[in-house]
Structure 1
Amino acid sequence: MTRIRRTAAAAVLTLVLPLPAVAAGTALAAPASEHSAAAASDPYGLHPELPRPTGPHAVGREILHLVDKHRQDPWVPSAGPRQLMVSMYYPARLGTGGPAPYMTTEAARLMLQLKLPGTTIPAEAVSGTHTWARSDARPEHGRFPLVVLSPGFTMPRTELTSLAEDLASRGYVVALVDHTYENSGTTFPDGQTLTCAICDTPSTGGPGAIAESRARDISFVIDELTSRRHPGWQYAHMIDPRRIGMAGHSLGGDAAVTTMAADKRVRAGVNLDGTMFAPVPATGLGGRPFMLVGHDLGGVVDDTWASGWANLDGWKRWLTVSGSNHASFTDVPVLAEKLGIPEPPGTTVSAQRAVQITRTYVGAFFDLHLRGIPEPVLDGPSAANPEVGFHP
């Protein structure tokens, strides 16, 4: 049984189980007083709060609208050139910028509509999730590695916000990409929110074709962020183009494979619980490091991971987090816990602990391979993380 058969459904179950009606670290991401003020604006405690980032840097965020004039949209050709929305997270100067919203209210409404038909949860309860990033904060001096993040199929990019914020707090520039027409809703600068065009009607070529399309999205984003003449981001000078990594959840994890196979600029990759419909090439990934992180399938081995593992030809790790589920590597459990949504049966890892484990291992992986910092946590099982098992 493949991972997608057992776990794509689990991701949906995290958001679609029957719900009750809802009424009406150490990082210096934002002064405590600002979060106190945010709490005061949420007197009923409806809004979830993401876990505090663990690194020493404050976190800035800026939203980019990028247009690939050389590529027609693959899912809605009549829309013209491929357009992408990207959230850029970066090490920032403390005390600058303003609170960064989690997502737009319309995008939250569409996500709830897709995942929880008929729910009474107000969209504002999700869109008002408290983050630690600061909009338009002034960047810190220096050059930093770039990590590109790709979310799961049907999910907006915001599902990986807690991971993006943590990486930025640790000294990374992070590009969190929405793949237009592949999720519940992407809001553009003109206020329009585009919905999913292929969620109900699978694309020709299936999930593998979607992963390959995402690879083209990611390579275009990297082009825009590393262009010397006309970069697509005002703080592009912060990025060290020699140190680029990628991580993704579910289909986004599969896209990490297809991106690395097509784009040698990506030096290291992580797949968070994604079936590899687009397989690791038989010739490998040119010796570049790759890490698989997934939940326990009850003793069943995902055959796409088994074949992919055999083809990986560089440094590699295969980690299994016991007591987790498909969505444990995202913000979904944090939101679900606050909004009264039960976890899938068998889940024993708390939402906060799931975020901590994901941040620990993904951060350590990129610290080792993009910054050359030894990370003993990647060497094998540890008493501090008893839930994490290492594949032989």
Structure 2
Amino acid sequence: MKGRKNYSLPFLVIFILMLCPGSAIIAQQDFLYGDPLPDAPELSARGEHTIGVRTLKFVHKDQIDILNSKGGEDPLYDRPLTVEVWYPAEVASNTDISVTYKEVMGTRGDTLRPLIPFTFKGRAVRDAKPKTSNGKFPLVIVSHGYVGSRYLMTYLTENLASKGYVVVAIDHTDSTFRDANAFYSTLLNRAKDIKFVLNEMEGLANHPLGKIIDVDHTGIVGYSMGGYGVLNVGGAGYSDAAAGFFGQMTGGSTAINSLIASNPSYQKSIDPRVKAVVALAPWGMERGVWDAEGLKGLKKPTLFVAGSQDDISGYEDGIKAIYEGAVNADRYLLTYRNARHNVAPNPPPAASLAPGLNINEYYRYADSTWDQRKINNVNQHFITAFLGTHLKGQDNSKFLYIPENSNAADWPGFKPRSSTGMELLKAKGLK
């Protein structure tokens, strides 16, 4: 048509950016792990606090060196643990709220898959001053899978810290991408690491973080082998059969006996500071790790999260069986229908999309059916509701008490048409 201007595509893009610069820039440059998608549920949004992050190193002295055990008397060693802590912080208004996390793909790098370094960004300020004007904040301890790292769930750790929690994620020695070792080290040490880190966080009296941590209101969150660990810390002692196969794996070691339900000393070790448990895809039920008596020991409120097609931990005879057997706990089971095991990690990093990489670098993070960002947002929502109830005394019942016929209508807190494909079961404990 005569006189009609032919705008080029670059001009149109610039014009759109001028009309809505904030949203366009976020979509193209600043969408980070854990940021809400357009259909994210209500409680997935970040909280009011700007957060800091710092790395701490602990040493758990005189621990059983199971990797060098030959049966009989186990040798001892000093076990190193690195943790990452996110917390509400005092940050000047002109500060760049950004942090770069350094991670690797692969597994150990020698006999398994090569280690490939990569970085990704988060919304926190490295080593910022803790916020003391609001008093103390509940503590949340996060335990990764085998293998994994303290950075595996930053979408959740950052999110919870922004809502007024001190969140500490553990690098479990012998169980990370960098140092993965024989599986029985993870079997023995996972619950012990969690309890040790809880004690270390309470002992930070002379550390800047010490003034803001309320350890008497602690929640523990674990994924896969982390779920195996947090359930034990919460009161679900391992079975005698589990102790038996641990002994077979290690040439006769009885080191795990301190964690079995039939051991009276284990029953006395249940920590009253722990007020809530979140177990995402917890491993072990299909392998006989728990029996009916062991599961009866779990009396703390517990949120289970699972994929109905979990091919690592199992579903009907795995995670759902734990949920059903924990008869003395007030509990919930959030199920992503047709999801597999990866219901907890960050989305796949950009580095995992490079051509020629082992597919497992991608599937360490991705689900084969669900958008991982959607899972992340839903996890943020329900874990916020659950921990807020039990660590802060909030009334989040409308989010947690969804009708049995839950897909007949939109779930409370969810945008219209966005709550399909999930199920939330709930049960009251007998004791």
Look up the SS of the partner of 1:130 in the other structure. Answer: strand
Checking the alignment, whether the CA contact within 8 Å between 2:228 and 2:282 is kept in structure 1 is yes
Cα distance, 1:252 vs structure 2? 0.4
Structure 1: segments with no counterpart, 5+ residues: 1-31, 41-47, 186-194, 204-208
Q: Compared with structure 1, are the counterparts of its residues 213 and 241 closer, same or farther at alpha carbon in structure 2 (3 Å cutoff)?
A: same
Q: Compared with structure 1, are the counterparts of its residues 297 and 136 closer, same or farther at alpha carbon in structure 2 (3 Å cutoff)?
A: same
The 2-side partners of 1:390 and 1:302 are apart by: 18
Q: Is 1:293 aligned to 2:290, yes or no?
A: no
The 2-side partners of 1:366 and 1:348 are apart by: 28
Cα distance, 1:311 vs structure 2? 2.6
Aligned counterpart, 1:197 = 181
Aligned counterpart, 1:57 = 49
Q: Compared with structure 1, are the counterparts of its residues 145 and 339 closer, same or farther at alpha carbon in structure 2 (3 Å cutoff)?
A: farther
Cα distance, 1:68 vs structure 2? 1.5
Q: Is 1:268 aligned to 2:276, yes or no?
A: yes
The 1-side partners of 2:111 and 2:224 are apart by: 16
1:38-49 to 2 correspondences below 5 Å: 49=32
Aligned counterpart, 2:123 = 132
Which whole-Å deviations, capped at 9, do the CAs of 1:280-313 have from their partners, x for residues lacking one?
A: 7546346310111101128961346414522341
Aligned counterpart, 1:378 = 400
**Aligned letter for 2:47?**
G
Checking the alignment, whether the CA contact within 8 Å between 1:224 and 1:231 is kept in structure 2 is no
Which whole-Å deviations, capped at 9, do the CAs of 1:326-349 have from their partners, x for residues lacking one?
A: 223211445578657766998332
Q: Is 1:170 aligned to 2:178, yes or no?
A: no
Which whole-Å deviations, capped at 9, do the CAs of 1:111-146 have from their partners, x for residues lacking one?
A: 495899479xx62xx3x2111121101111221110
Aligned counterpart, 1:189 = none
Greater gyration radius: 2
Checking the alignment, whether the CA contact within 8 Å between 2:62 and 2:76 is kept in structure 1 is no
Q: Compared with structure 1, are the counterparts of its residues 134 and 74 closer, same or farther at alpha carbon in structure 2 (3 Å cutoff)?
A: farther
Look up the SS of the partner of 2:391 in the other structure. Answer: helix
The 2-side partners of 1:160 and 1:168 are apart by: 13
1:64-83 to 2 correspondences below 5 Å: 64-75=56-67, 80-83=77-80
Cα distance, 1:149 vs structure 2? 0.3
Checking the alignment, whether the CA contact within 8 Å between 1:253 and 1:271 is kept in structure 2 is yes
**Aligned letter for 1:363?**
T
Aligned counterpart, 2:371 = 350
Q: Compared with structure 1, are the counterparts of its residues 113 and 50 closer, same or farther at alpha carbon in structure 2 (3 Å cutoff)?
A: farther
**Residue 229 (structure 2) aligned to one of 246, 250, 255:** 255
Q: Which deviates the most, 128-137 or 298-307? A: 298-307
* Structure number with higher relative contact order (C-alpha < 8 Å, ≥ 6 residues apart): 1
Aligned counterpart, 1:391 = 425
The 2-side partners of 1:345 and 1:71 are apart by: 35
Cα distance, 1:162 vs structure 2? 1.2
Checking the alignment, whether the CA contact within 8 Å between 1:334 and 1:352 is kept in structure 2 is no
Look up the SS of the partner of 2:316 in the other structure. Answer: coil
Checking the alignment, whether the CA contact within 8 Å between 1:320 and 1:390 is kept in structure 2 is yes
Question: If the length of structure 2 is used for normalisation, what is the TM-score?
Answer: 0.66
Checking the alignment, whether the CA contact within 8 Å between 1:50 and 1:334 is kept in structure 2 is no
Structure 2: segments with no counterpart, 5+ residues: 1-21, 36-44, 70-74, 236-269, 427-431
Checking the alignment, whether the CA contact within 8 Å between 2:347 and 2:366 is kept in structure 1 is no
The 2-side partners of 1:51 and 1:93 are apart by: 22
The 2-side partners of 1:81 and 1:283 are apart by: 31
The 1-side partners of 2:378 and 2:332 are apart by: 15
Q: Compared with structure 1, are the counterparts of its residues 224 and 117 closer, same or farther at alpha carbon in structure 2 (3 Å cutoff)?
A: closer
Look up the SS of the partner of 1:158 in the other structure. Answer: coil
Which whole-Å deviations, capped at 9, do the CAs of 1:40-81 have from their partners, x for residues lacking one?
A: 9xxxxxxx9323362221111010000112424444688930
Percent identity, please: 24
1:108-119 to 2 correspondences below 5 Å: 108=104, 110-111=106-107, 113=109, 117=113
Question: If the length of structure 1 is used for normalisation, what is the TM-score?
Answer: 0.72
Checking the alignment, whether the CA contact within 8 Å between 1:114 and 1:184 is kept in structure 2 is no
When the two chains are superposed, the root-mean-square deviation of aligned CA atoms in Å is 3.5
**Aligned letter for 1:322?**
R
Checking the alignment, whether the CA contact within 8 Å between 1:224 and 1:233 is kept in structure 2 is no
